């Protein structure tokens, strides 16, 4: 079947459908990672987004159950230059096309992804849609106009867990950690478990005052989709935890929530940071880390009496990490758990453990 990618500005790209023969709208973005398409597709941070992969050939190694970052595909659609229908990998259990069809997600191949990426880079991330049809129809643009966009959208409530659950191996010699799930990735939970935490995951709107009464040793605020500004319940939770002096770590959306709790503001980036090659300066050590990133919003502001900037993105000098000046609080804009991406920043999980250990002592 033919398929069309249509942008709200009127650009139309014709290609071939290789996913579900359905139509979806969302925010069209691009990711520069050279591998890890399954982890990208199943990352809840991509909710309501149609992802363009800039690497030209996608699907080579198929799909493996071990590489899921959540229980299903989270993106609204996938755009690639060339789809490989016959994967070659001993771990593969199904093709990418079959995987997309199983979760009813459209995908398009055969278009100029370099041209598309230049449009998104120059004009910014834009609303659009993938439409599976034999011919272009004017109604496609009308469908795109109905999509509200991500600014002001509370998507954390759509991807969070329905109920509390425990994760990993719980033992008496590990710290008890409460995780706020705003769209948490599987590998974040894996690394928290392996770094000495008894992990218990809670829905996004869980009252922090109730959790503080339960005596958790530390708290974690996860990655997730959408705009952080309307998440007043999450910002209030962060303020309560910070005021109580309990150790707190946030990644991505969690970073933005903690930033607002510490008095900073957030804003939407022109086309976001999505890929596995972003250089970040650790201001404490002077070292540069190559990082995996996936976000469309960012914390803005300068050092203050309550919070200092600990990491900077060297692509555009935006804030990539903050620390409280007097409380055990750390937050990172990028993804130290990788999946996919480099492992330069994995040390942050050990830093969090050490911070909790010092706080308890």
Instruction: Print pLDDT tens along the chain (361 aa).
Output: 999 999 999 999 999 999 999 999 999 999 999 999 999 999 999 999 999 999 999 999 999 999 999 999 999 999 999 999 999 999 999 999 999 999 999 999 999 999 999 999 999 999 999 999 999 999 999 999 999 999 999 999 999 999 999 999 999 999 999 999 999 999 999 999 999 999 999 999 999 999 999 999 999 999 999 999 999 999 999 999 999 999 999 999 999 999 999 999 999 999 999 999 999 999 999 999 999 999 999 999 999 999 999 999 999 999 999 999 999 999 999 999 999 999 999 999 999 999 999 999 9
- pLDDT at residue 246 in the model: 98
Spatial strand order in the sheet of 218-221: 165-167, 197-202, 175-180, 218-221, 248-251, 329-332, 319-324, 307-313, 265-282, 288-300
Is residue 252 annotated as a catalytic residue, yes or no?
Answer: yes
- pLDDT at residue 284 in the model: 94
Catalytically annotated residue among 27, 39, 229, 337 = 337
Strand, coil or helix: 65: helix
Catalytically annotated residue among 195, 255, 311, 335 = 335
Is residue 335 annotated as a catalytic residue, yes or no?
Answer: yes
- pLDDT at residue 254 in the model: 98
All CATH 3.50.30.20 domain ranges in the chain, comma separated:
2-145
Which of 7, 14, 11, 36 lies closest to 292 in space, CA to CA? 36
Catalytically annotated residue among 39, 252, 255, 311 = 252
Q: Return the bridge partners of 200, or none.
A: 166, 178
CATH architecture classification, 2-145:
3-Layer(bba) Sandwich (3.50)
CB 78 within 8 A of CB 100: yes
CATH code of 156-360, in short, is: 3.40.50.880
Which of 234, 257, 262 lies closest to 328 in space, CA to CA? 262
User: What's the CA gap between 204 and 180, in Å, rounded?
Assistant: 6
- pLDDT at residue 234 in the model: 98
Taking every pair of C-alpha atoms in the chain, what is the biggest distance, in angstroms?
Answer: 67
All CATH 3.40.50.880 domain ranges in the chain, comma separated:
156-360
User: What's the CA gap between 206 and 164, in Å, rounded?
Assistant: 9
Compute how many other C-beta atoms are within 10 angstroms of the C-beta atom of residue 112.
Answer: 12
């Amino acid at each position: 079947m033919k398929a069309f990618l249509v942008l709200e500005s009127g650009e139309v790209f014709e290609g071939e459908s290789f996913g579900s023969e359905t139509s979806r709208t969302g925010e069209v973005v691009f990711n520069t990672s050279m591998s890890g398409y399954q982890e990208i597709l199943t990352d809840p941070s991509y909710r309501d987004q149609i992802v363009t992969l800039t690497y030209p050939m996608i699907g080579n190694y198929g799909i493996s159950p071990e590489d899921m970052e959540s229980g299903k595909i989270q993106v609204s659609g996938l755009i690639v230059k060339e789809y490989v229908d016959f994967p070659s990998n001993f771990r593969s259990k199904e093709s990418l096309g079959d995987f997309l069809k199983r979760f009813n997600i459209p995908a398009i191949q055969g278009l100029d992804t370099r041209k598309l990426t230049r449009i998104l880079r120059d004009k910014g991330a834009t609303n659009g849609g993938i439409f599976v049809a034999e011919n272009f129809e004017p109604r496609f643009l009308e469908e795109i106009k109905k999509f509200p966009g991500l600014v002001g959208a509370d998507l954390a409530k759509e991807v969070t867990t329905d109920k509390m659950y425990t994760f990993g191996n719980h033992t008496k010699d590990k710290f008890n950690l409460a995780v706020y799930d705003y769209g948490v990735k599987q590998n974040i939970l894996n690394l928290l478990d392996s770094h000495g935490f008894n992990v218990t995951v809670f829905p996004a709107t869980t009252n922090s005052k109730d959790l503080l009464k339960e005596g958790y040793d530390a708290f974690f605020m996860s990655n997730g989709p959408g705009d952080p500004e309307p998440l007043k319940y999450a910002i209030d939770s962060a303020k309560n935890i910070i005021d109580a002096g309990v150790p707190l770590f946030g990644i991505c959306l969690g970073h933005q929530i903690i930033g607002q709790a510490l008095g900073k503001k957030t804003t939407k980036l022109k086309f976001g940071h999505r890929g596995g090659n972003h250089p970040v300066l650790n201001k404490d050590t002077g070292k540069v880390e190559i990082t995996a990133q996936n976000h469309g919003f960012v914390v803005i502001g300068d050092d203050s009496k309550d919070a200092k900037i600990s990491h900077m993105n060297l692509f555009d000098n935006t804030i990539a990490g903050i620390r409280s000046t007097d409380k055990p609080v750390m937050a990172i804009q990028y993804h130290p758990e990788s999946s996919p991406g480099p492992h330069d920043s994995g040390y942050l999980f050990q830093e969090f453990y050490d911070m909790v250990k010092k706080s308890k002592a």
